Chain A
């Protein structure tokens, strides 16, 4: 047990907790029984304060490893502390890909369940929770296997439940068969937001994977210019030399904290310009490696240090299909405020899971990385929250580090259902985190 200062990936609002790393279920049970404030922590990739608990116990799930064999139906039993990186290293050579992958492989399966993560295929395949067959869950009142048919309330409260129902130790996942480690990618450049949104609404269904990078710092006619990349897994006949090779480690790293202010509106504007101009105007069927397509940020270790000592926040929201206008207004508000923002990620969401705290819901989602510093930023984001609520949308807890707690119920109307399940399995409110305390997700 060590006492450690913990933050999320955004490196804001630190707190100190005891970190324990049990390597089996008994160890997890003991750690939960031994503290009045516990939260599981994986690789620390949630951006805000979801996987830290000041004065409590951060239960590292990294000791809960073990990747089982994949059966002919693609079913795989895997330890919750296994990362996507580790899983893909063993599954890709066997011809299996994960059904859903977030933008980095440095996420544990347990963390992925807690946030009900989504990837570029959400509009077709939904979030990770839709591909989980069962979970082994240790709660403060007992350990059980839960699934969409066995105690579905507890299963779905756990999927997207930010770790607040207990600690997942193992899960069974349904994998996706692949013939090659290539993705055939179509890239298109758009001069403004309306054009790219029209193209996505029109054509995303033809692709398993789709995402657009939007420049939030241009104003006027080119407001929200974007690069849309869409693709499908390449079949063995689609590429000349088909291989099945797992991911390789990052070759670059950011060795120290950059000075705060390195990423200001000038440098970010210059970067966005370069990024936009370096993309082809229109390219069809380019064969890209899985890692290049799915995990571009994994190429540089510790890239969050670029934001300097004060860190950054990621703001991600989703709104229903009929509220595309909210996306336009949000980007307009940001570009008008001149708050520096790296290329934003825009994507379409498909069907939601029944998780009461699960983030994705059908429609649009936009994610923005914003350095902490500009005095206007907190107020601008509070305004964006209002826009999002007016459109019946919500922000993503796994990214959040600043939401006003009074807005949680409007964004998550099924919060009461979640709290009812939590009360059943955790009547003493042991499972908690800085996020849960800040937003009132612990129950009272």
Chain B
């Protein structure tokens, strides 16, 4: 069960092998988390992440395999994760996504569609099932990794940014739909995060490491803020980005 300080005991992470997810699992286990179910694509990396979670103090770990391009599999993945958890689930983290390669993807219908499926459609499908399960439980929390890229799409990553924007909006609606159910959803909007996913990409301003992001998320779990910005100052930067005239935005966005 969740406690008064927003420290969950039982956690499911969809996209559990990402660097962000692993850093977050470490922080959660340092507090109260003892049951960790990790869902991801790569069996070997899932097993390694589960080992790692046990090292952080989790007494129950399990893994679930899924492919984020397989929309029909979203429900099965979530159901299996809840079954593996075996007890009321306090927190579901949705950290599913793929940055893609804009220049390769933008003229390739299959790859463009894939970005929309992995970053938007699959997480939305999974969230529908997560919502139903947690509402039936009468309690639980959801953390969804969105991105600063969702605030205003830029030329260099518009497929990713637009898909994240879609997911972000779904989450805004979902969060308000949860009022009075005992369940809540918090959106995380980080700036550039140094991780496997972004390796080799040019850093943009306000970038953070995964540990700093994980710390910010844990702090957000304690405060219950509907949107968790990382770094926190990004909240104000986003205000400016939203209203920047298009020509100026293109100049800013072209850097990085």
- Chain A interface residues toward B at CB < 8 A: 5, 10, 12-17, 48-49, 53-56, 310-311, 313, 372, 375, 377-378, 401-402, 404-405, 434-435, 437-438
Contact = CB atoms under 8 A, between A and B. Distances in A.
A438 B9 contact: yes
Interface in B103-145: 135-140
A53 B137 CA distance: 9
Contacts, number: 73
A15 B5 contact: no
B138 A375 contact: no
Interface residues of B, number: 25
Contacts of B232: none
Contact of A54 (B7, B9, B139, B180): B139
Given A310-B223, A402-B7, A405-B9, A55 B136 contact: yes
B4 A54 contact: no
Contacts of B3: 12-13, 401-402, 438
Contacts of A311: 4
A378 B3 CA distance: 10
Tell me what chain A mostly uses at the interface: helix, strand, loop, or mixed. Answer: loop
Given A16-B180, A16-B182, A375-B219, A54 B138 contact: yes
Interface in B169-200: 180-182
Nearest to B179: A5
Tell me what chain B mostly uses at the interface: helix, strand, loop, or mixed. Answer: loop
B224 interface: yes
Contact of A438 (B1, B5, B222): B1
Closest 6 CB pairs of A and B: A54-B138, A12-B4, A401-B4, A15-B139, A438-B1, A16-B182
Given A16-B138, A55-B137, A375 B222 contact: yes
Interface centre among A17, A54, A56, A378 (most CB of B within 10 A): A54
B32 interface: yes
25 contacts: A12-B3, A12-B4, A13-B1, A13-B2, A14-B182, A15-B138, A16-B139, A16-B180, A16-B182, A54-B1, A54-B139, A54-B140, A54-B182, A55-B138, A310-B224, A311-B4, A313-B5, A372-B4, A378-B5, A401-B4, A402-B5, A402-B7, A405-B34, A438-B1, A438-B3
B7 A437 contact: no
B4 A402 contact: yes
Given A5-B180, A15-B138, A378-B31, A55 B4 contact: no
Given A12-B3, A12-B4, 4 more contacts: A5-B181, A54-B140, A311-B4, A401-B3
B88 interface: yes
Contacts of A48: 4
Given A54-B137, A310-B224, A375-B219, A434 B1 contact: yes
A375 B139 CA distance: 23
B4 A13 contact: yes
Nearest to A382: B31
Contacts of A54: 1, 88, 137-140, 182
Nearest to A314: B4
B87 interface: yes
Nearest to A56: B138
A58 to B, nearest CB: 10
Contacts of A56: 138
Interface string B21-47: 000000000011010000000000000
A422 B87 CA distance: 20
A377 to B, nearest CB: 7
Contacts of B34: 405
